[in-house]
Structure 1
Amino acid sequence: MGKLVVVENVTLDGVMQAPGGADEDTRRDFPHGGWAHPYADHVMAETMGKGMGADGAMLFGRRTYEQFHGFWSKQTDGNPYTEVLNRKRKYVASRTLTEPLPWENSSLLGGDATEAVAALKRQVEGDLVVLGSGRLVQSLAGAGLVDVYTLSIHPLTLGTGTKLFPDGAYGTLELVDVVPTTTGVIIATYRPTAG
């Protein structure tokens, strides 16, 4: 049985929206896209690279899948992430996409996302890693399906934007690992606990 691992960039005030670019996710007129870039360093690249190289598969919501496919499937610069992302099995939870999906090694999960992911966890060996995919993560967390959170916590607040944990989401977490970067980001790995 696989573990569901959520990997997210978040701010100190919990915002996860559009860390990668200005036009990544402008819903609700979000003005701060690309906030994570100034904090990238070799420590983050090495730490995330270890996780990317592990056995398992990836899980995306539709929006994140389309953004990743639009960028990573076209890269030819030798970035090691490109090879990993293209090679890994990718599952996509979407009610609007149809097969065949355009990115190699991609499969569509049909029906209710939480039920499909619960079944997938029983089938996948290794980690089932979710990158981004905020709405999907919130649904999976609400259903108690998340086994691990790896959060790159950035030293800034934005005051607006979609948060990883929405208002009313109660839970307790156990810290299992922490890696500080040279730019002030804390890469913290948590395991949900009963509480």
Structure 2
Amino acid sequence: MRKIVVCTFLTLDGVLQAPGGPDEDAESGFEHGGWQKNASDDEVGEAIAGWYQHSDAMLLGRKTYEIFASYWPTADPANPFTERMNSTPKYVASRTLTSLEWQNSTLLDGDVVQAVRTLKESDGGDINVVGSGDLAQTLMRHDLVDEYRLTIHPVIIGTGKRLFADGAIPTRLEPVSVSTTKGGTVLAVYRPNGKPAYDSY
């Protein structure tokens, strides 16, 4: 059984929207695009590279796919991620796209939940959900996420799309590894582990 792994950059207040640049995603009037670069450091890059070593596919929502597809096919080949991003199989969940031009991309047919269940049962390594907040929330609601790999950066935005938005399913998380970089970014890997327990002091 393959693992579905949500890999996401977050602000301290849980925002995942547009970490990469001012024009990445301005939906709902978001004005803080590009918040990640100045809140990151070399240790973050090393951790992310390690997270990708154990995966052999990506699962993307439409918006993240379009952002990546507009950049990576012509990205600097000296960037060690360029070959990785272009050669990795990519599965795309979309109700509006009818064809995909980025190499090694496959459009998921039919119901996305059933399509992801089928992917989990196929042969292969981990499948990373990168960005794609709406898709990640759909997968969470249907108990399809096996692991979270989060970089939590020391910046507060106050608005924007959140990974754990209103309506998130209450879930207890088991820490796999948690560390902090010199720049203050938390590198956290968690696995769902049942429901929260409630008690009082």
TM bracket, shorter-chain basis: over 0.9
Question: Contact 2:62 / 2:94 at 8 angstroms: preserved in 1?
Answer: yes
CA distance in 1, matches of 2:38, 2:74: 24
Amino acid at match of 1:70: S
Question: Contact 2:39 / 2:155 at 8 angstroms: preserved in 1?
Answer: no
- Give 1:4-153 correspondences, 5 Å limit: 4-99=4-99, 101-153=100-152
> Displacement of 1:77 after TM fit?
4.0
What is the aligned partner in structure 2 of residue 175 from structure 1? 175
> Displacement of 1:178 after TM fit?
1.6
Deviations 1:145-171 (A, max 9, x none): 000000100112111111101113122
Alignment partner of 1:73: what SS? helix
Q: What TM-score, normalized to structure 2?
A: 0.93
Unaligned runs of 5+ in 2: 196-201
Aligned alpha-carbon RMSD (Å): 1.1
> Displacement of 1:112 after TM fit?
1.4
> Displacement of 1:55 after TM fit?
4.0
Q: What TM-score, normalized to structure 1?
A: 0.95
Amino acid at match of 1:102: E
Further displaced range: 47-56 or 72-81:
47-56
Question: Contact 2:3 / 2:146 at 8 angstroms: preserved in 1?
Answer: yes
Further displaced range: 143-152 or 67-76:
67-76
Alignment partner of 1:160: what SS? coil
Q: How many residues align?
A: 194
- Structure 1 runs of 4+ with >3 Å offset: none
> Displacement of 1:39 after TM fit?
2.2
Question: Contact 2:59 / 2:127 at 8 angstroms: preserved in 1?
Answer: yes
Question: Contact 1:92 / 1:107 at 8 angstroms: preserved in 2?
Answer: yes
Change (3 A) 1:32 1:124: farther
Unaligned runs of 5+ in 1: none
